[in-house]
Amino acid sequence: MSFASLSDFIAMGGHGVYVWSAYGITLGVLGLNIAMPILAKRRYLQDEARRLRRESNS
Amino acid sequence: MPWSTVELMSNLMNWTWFHKLGSPKWFYEISGRWLPWLIAAAALLMVSGLVWGLVFAPPERYQGDSYRIIYIHVPAAFLAQACYLTMALAGAVGLIWKMKIADVALQQAAPVGAWLCFIALVTGAIWGKPTWGTYWVWDARLTSMLILLFLYFGVIALGQAISNRDSAAKACAVLSLVGAVNIPIIQKSVEWWSTLHQPATFKITGKASMSAEMWLPLLLSVLGFYCLFIVLVLMRMRLEVLKRESRSAWAKAEVGKLVGARP
C-alpha cells in the first residue's frame, strides 16, 4: 500500500483535487455511456409493446 | 488454368463465412453470447487496474501522486484512437463489400469514441495543471487530439443529417477513412514537434519507461477499457440491429420475447 492512512489517500500528496476530479469525471462519463444504451433499449421495447397491444386490439 | 485451381478460387471468393459475419441475425446471436463474458472481463480488469494504480502503485519520483491520472488518461486516449481506426476499417468493409453490419458498427462506435476522446482531453487538462502549470497549450499532441474529437462530431453529425441510409453510410465511411490520417499524426506528434507532452509510455519494441509496479496496473486498465469499449459498442449495435431488422421474422420474435418477459 502506497498510503499510510485514509486521509493521506484522499489528499494524494496535495494533488487530491486533480486526481479525484479526473477520476470523478471519467467514472461519470463511463456511467452515462453504460446507462444510455440500457435506457434506449427499454424505451424501444416499451414503444414496441404499446404498438403490439394496439395492433392486437384493432 | 487447371480446373481444381478455378474451383479453389471460386470457393475462396465465395466467402460464405464472411457474409455470415455480415448477417444481422448471426451478429445478434453471437454478440448476445459474448456480452456476459465481456462485461465480467471489463469489470474485473478495470477494478483491479484502477485500485492497484490508485492505492498500491508507488508515487512517481517527480510528479508525486498526480501521475495516478495516467491510469484513466492513457486508456481513454488509446481507445479513442483505436475506435477511430476501427471505424475506418468498418468504413472500408462497408464501401467494398456493401456489408450493412459494418455501417451499424461505424455509426454506433462514433459516440463512444467521442466520449473517450473527451475523457482523454479533460483528464489530460486536469493533469496538466499540477505538472505543466497550465490546463491547455496549443501544441501538436493536444491539438491533434482535439481534431480527433471534431472528426467524431463530424461522423455523428453526418450520420444524423443524411436521411437516406445508404448515402449516410457512404458519407460516414469516407469521412472515417479520410480522418484516419490524423491517427499517425497524433502518434508521431511528440516526436515531430517539440511539445510538453511526454512520449509514449508503452512501445511495441523496447522496454517500457516505467517500473513494472507502475505499468502493470496501467496494462490492466487499458485492457479493461478495451473490454468496456467493446461492450458499449455491442450494446448499441444490438439495439440498432433490432430496430433496422424490425420487419424480419427473427427480430419480431426477439422483440416479442423481450416484451413478454417484462410485464
Residue B248: strand, helix, or coil? coil
Please tell me the predicted confidence (pLDDT) of residue A56: 83
Backbone phi and psi for residue B139, each to the nearest 5 degrees, phi listed first: -100, 175
Mutate to test the interface with A, among B83, B259, B262 (most CBs of A within 10 A): B259
- Does residue B122 sit at the A interface (CB-CB below 8 Å)? yes
Alpha helices in chain B (DSSP H): 3-14, 16-21, 24-51, 70-97, 100-132, 140-161, 165-179, 182-192, 212-244, 249-261
Q: Nearest CB to B236: which of A2, A37, A48?
A: A37
CA distance A42 to B105: 21
B103-155 pLDDT, tens per residue?
999 999 999 999 999 999 999 999 999 988 889 988 889 999 999 999 999 99
pLDDT band at B14 (very low <50, low <70, confident <90, very high): low
Radius of gyration of chain B (CA): 22
Parse chain A into domains and list their residue ranges. 17-57
CA B13 to chain centre: 30
CB contact under 8 A, B119 and A25: yes
CA distance B214 to A19: 16
CB B128 within 8 A of CB B139: no
Residue B197: strand, helix, or coil? coil
Q: Nearest CB to B65: which of A15, A48, A52?
A: A15
B16-64 pLDDT, tens per residue?
666 666 789 999 999 999 999 999 999 999 999 999 999 999 988 888 8
CB B169 within 8 A of CB B101: no
Chain A residues with CB-CB distance to B129 below 8 A: 18
A20-36 pLDDT, tens per residue?
999 999 999 999 999 99
Which residues, other chains included, contact B136 with Cβ-Cβ below 8 Å and sequence gap of 6+?
B125, B128, B142
Q: What nine digits make up the cell of B202?
A: 508503452
CB atoms within 10 A of CB B165: 13
Parse chain B into domains and list their residue ranges. 70-198+229-241
CB contact under 8 A, A30 and B228: yes
